[in-house]
Amino acid sequence: MSSFPASQPNGNGRSSEENINGPSFTELDGYKDLSEEPTSLFAIDRVQLMFSLSDISSMVVANNLLCLALRSGQIIRIDLDHPESVDEVNLPRKHSDPTGNNISSIFLDPTGAHLLITNIHGENYYLNYQSVKAKNLGRLKGLVITSVAWNPFEPARSTGDILIGCADGSIYETFIEKSNEYFKRDDRYLRQVWKNPYGDSITGLYAYQERGVAQRQVIVSSHGRIWFWQGKFGLVGDTNGASNRATQSSASSSIDGSSDEMVNGPPTNSGESGGVPVYTRFFETTEPILEAFESPGSYDAFAVSPYKMGVSRETSSTFAAINGVGILHGQLYDKRVSSSSGNANSARTVPSDIFARSQLVIYDQLQSVMSPNTSAIRSITLTEYYIIILCGNTVVSISRLNNKVKFHDKITLEPGETLIGLCSDVKYSTFWAFSNQNIYEIKVGDEEHDIWKILIENKEYEEALKVAKDAVAKDIVSVAYGEHLLKEGKDMKKAASLLGGSSKPFEGIALEFSTKKDFDALNVFLSSRLKLYRGSSGKMQRTLITSWLVELYMEKLDSLDDLIAAGDNSQAVNQQSQEAVKKRPSDKLDLSKPKAINGTDSSPSTTPSDGRRTVRTAFYKFIEDHKSDLDKETVYEIISSHGRREELLYYASSVSDSTFVLNYWIRFEKWTEALQVLRKENDAKLAYKYSTVLLVNSPQDTVDTWIRMDGLDPAKLIPALLAYVSGFRGEPNKNQAIRYLNYAVNILKTKDTAIFNTLICLYASSSTTDESSLMACLETHRNAYDYDFALRVCNQFKRVESSVYIFSVMGLYEEAVKLALKNDDIELACIIADRPANDAVLRKSLWLDIARKVISSKNQKFTAVSILEKSGSALKIEDLLPQFPDFTVMDDVRDEIIASMEDYSSSISRLNKEMEDSLRTCDNVKKEIQEFKKRYALVMPGESCALCSFPVATRRFYVFPCQHAFHLDCLLDSISKSGDQVARSKLADIQINVKKTEVPTAVDGILSEKCVLCSDAKIETVDTPLVSQADKLNNEWAL
């Protein structure tokens, strides 16, 4: 067969909307409905199957599983997700009824796992989704099931505790679980829990319980009457609930009296009761609410709306019931009652409201869309917002919100075909009609497209906001809702939020909130409207609104401060009163709780301090979110006008306006706070800008801050350092300027001459007479400062030792010694005089100057003799004698004169000995020369030249002690071509400068100096090629 469902259109497709109850939607002032009207909200298609159907008696759809019942006793099960998968289940035939099983109804739970089958003979069967064989339910024999209330928690392994309504008006509780054991029944127990006092059949049955709530609701319909129960019920998964159910089970016996077959056990999270009856006590202890109609109709039906996947049924489920008067519909659950799931006694619903708020569509209102020959309503089902009814062969949809007919269409039937009823899949929101021969799918489009209009008419604004999809619809709903709240004077903040996010003109709404002095709502309105302005085009509007919001925040904080101050004053008054009461014990005043000025309790759940903290937090978040929209100067002016320092500084910090924050703290002389900002920002420009004022007023902390900062140029801080020093009157070790400059020199390793010059200047200008620190600086960094500047500074502040040191470093030893002698510092002069160690003349001159100073000044510490000793070898006694006056007693230097004479005598004797030694050496050399001239060498006959290999005796030749013999010309040529540059240059010089008569002698001296083969001259030829480029045999050596 082909895939399922394959459908084709059927019917005339007429669609209309007629006023049944209530006014039509009117367009709101100033707005147009721009939403598009759908072409068709409802459509009916006949489903085409690849097999024929006949005598359909019942049809159900749940969880995308479709089940058909044929009167012949056959069940057809189709998985709509896999339509090619079709299961056919045949029920056993009775011998007394050879035509078939005569199935009257089938019931499928919302999960599609459990199917109950009943026939006209009271035979009942159970078919599990995992099975293709239906099992007879013996305990249910004789019961004609007309409705089923499935377990609210939709267990899969079993049905859990369920209610079944029967044709005789009885309601039974049962528990069915598939069993593979032959002797074990699937229906664990059966117990009657209620009986219709009027004896009519049960046409509708529904039960609901939310997880975690110890209450269950049950609704029953029967021929114009509806009962509603709501009462305590055991929590799913609660052990106490299990014991309660055990207690309930002992209160009555099962229908066949076999209570021992009931399985006791703890409940499970799947909603299964473990085979223990649970409804008996519920119906015994809970009083139902009855809604009855006087004219019961020939048909009666009950339906519950589908619920969206993932959405609680509590917020979406509605019911509808057919009676003789019309259609009663309403909400199953009261959304106005707050949830308290943790309390077993908490009311989830006000029982009376389920019918008090219901609506009734009477048959007379439907006559305009129903022909006179149309029979009564046969079946009913619900969509999310519409009621679908079947009248004869006409399908009609009615809006639940305004009772208007939205759609009606007549289905064209084949000969012999009769429509039976409607059904729906509550999970997947699919809707179906079926006849005895065909299946029809009722396709529902976008229900929420125009629902918001009706919801506005009904003043159900919250629901309208949920269903409005496009921007225009949402805007219209927001305006209507906001204006409604504004008019009623309720929830002004919500009204402000709605209107702020809408397109309603800004000025009028803002003015209205301002007139009512509801500044909290105005704040909400402005915040909501601010979100609408985006991009560069809305910059001006954003700036205006954000500035206004800043003003509102400041006023709110001011008012909270006033309340806090008033509360403090009140506490002070109460304290005085209590002290007065202590003095008067006879008074019976109750002062245990302080009263506010107006007599109300002054301890609300939220104190003004908490409120101020909350508002301040909100303001800070607002600043962070909209700092780019705010105008800095405007915000400063607004916050400053309210005198709110904390908020002012927070804003300045958030926009990184460190200059403002620093100026603020400096203006109030809060140096510690200012330096904290500087440390946090670590901004060199700020450090330079405020260096002087901070260093002068908080020197140590400022220097600490500078040291912690990165990227500072110490040279740019020199003006601040000098300004600080100008007012400093203390020791150098307490001078913070010197401390920072030492940090720059020793830690930062700066090479800037200005830094060293400044440091020297600060040391030199200090009040102390000790020059050790200055000298240490000069000696440690002798190449880093400007000598001329340092010399001027040291001279200016009379730093003699430092000046002398600088002179000596500059090489001006005479000036250094003169300055030291000028200031009678003989010891310092002596130190300087010894420094030019390589210049004996200068050194002697310096020591002579010192000697003259000592001799002329008659210094008690230093004498001429001591200077002579200190000078070492620089001065002698004969150098000092001319410096003494003409008439001087020589007794003081007699020993030095004698010692000097003895030194001269020793020197003369040493020179005489050296002369004698030289004469003897000269005589020995002469003798050796004469002996050398007598030396000779033997040359064998035929001995050849070591260079040219020709007989050496053929020409003039030379013989060396090494026995190498060379021709004169060969030797001369070899030396000329050798690498012996000294010998070659001598030969060239002889050719130029020596007379011709002296040339042979000169050349002979050069040639006979050393052998060209075994002397160092031969070693120098190691890098000479064996074969030169000019050699004729050069090519033969090529590789």
pLDDT for res 349: 39
pLDDT for res 424: 95
List, for the chain, all residue ranges whose pLDDT scores fall below the cut of 50: 1-38, 236-270, 335-350, 581, 583-604, 886-887, 889
Q: What's the gap between Cα 555 and its chain centre?
A: 33
Signed CA dihedral, 560, 564, 567, 573: sign only: negative
Query: Would you state the structure tokens that stand for residue 263, as one six-digit string?
Result: 């399985």
Structure confidence by residue, pLDDT tens digits, 460-517: 899 889 888 888 999 999 999 998 998 888 888 898 888 888 888 888 888 888 888 8
pLDDT for res 28: 35
Counting residues of the chain whose pLDDT is more than 90, the rounded percentage is 30
Tell me the CATH architecture of domain 42-444.
7 Propeller (2.130)
pLDDT for res 24: 32
Structure confidence by residue, pLDDT tens digits, 994-1023: 666 666 777 887 888 888 888 777 777 777
**Which residues touch 573 (CB under 8 Å, ≥6 apart)?**
none
Whole-prediction pTM: 0.56
619, 647 contact by CB (below 8 A):
yes
Helices and strands, counts by H and E, the chain: 34, 31
First to last CA, the chain: 96
Amino acid found at 755: I
DSSP string, 540-571: HHHHHHHHHHHHHHHHHHHHHHHHHHHHHHHH
pLDDT for res 355: 84
pLDDT for res 878: 60
pLDDT for res 107: 97
pLDDT for res 1031: 66
pLDDT for res 248: 38
pLDDT for res 488: 87
Please state the domain extents for the chain. Answer: 42-444, 952-1037
951, 944 contact by CB (below 8 A):
yes
How far, in Å, are 210, 317, 429 from residue 311 at the CA level?
Answer: 12, 10, 13
Residues in the chain: 1039
Q: What is the DSSP letter of 308?
A: -
pLDDT for res 128: 94
Tokens 């013996």 belong to residue: 138
pLDDT for res 476: 92
pLDDT for res 164: 97
Helix (H), strand (E) at residue 44: strand 42-48
Q: Which residues pair with 252 in a beta bridge?
A: none
Helix (H, G, I), strand (E, B) or coil at 1: coil
Structure confidence by residue, pLDDT tens digits, 857-913: 765 555 556 666 666 666 655 656 556 554 454 555 556 556 656 666 677 778 888
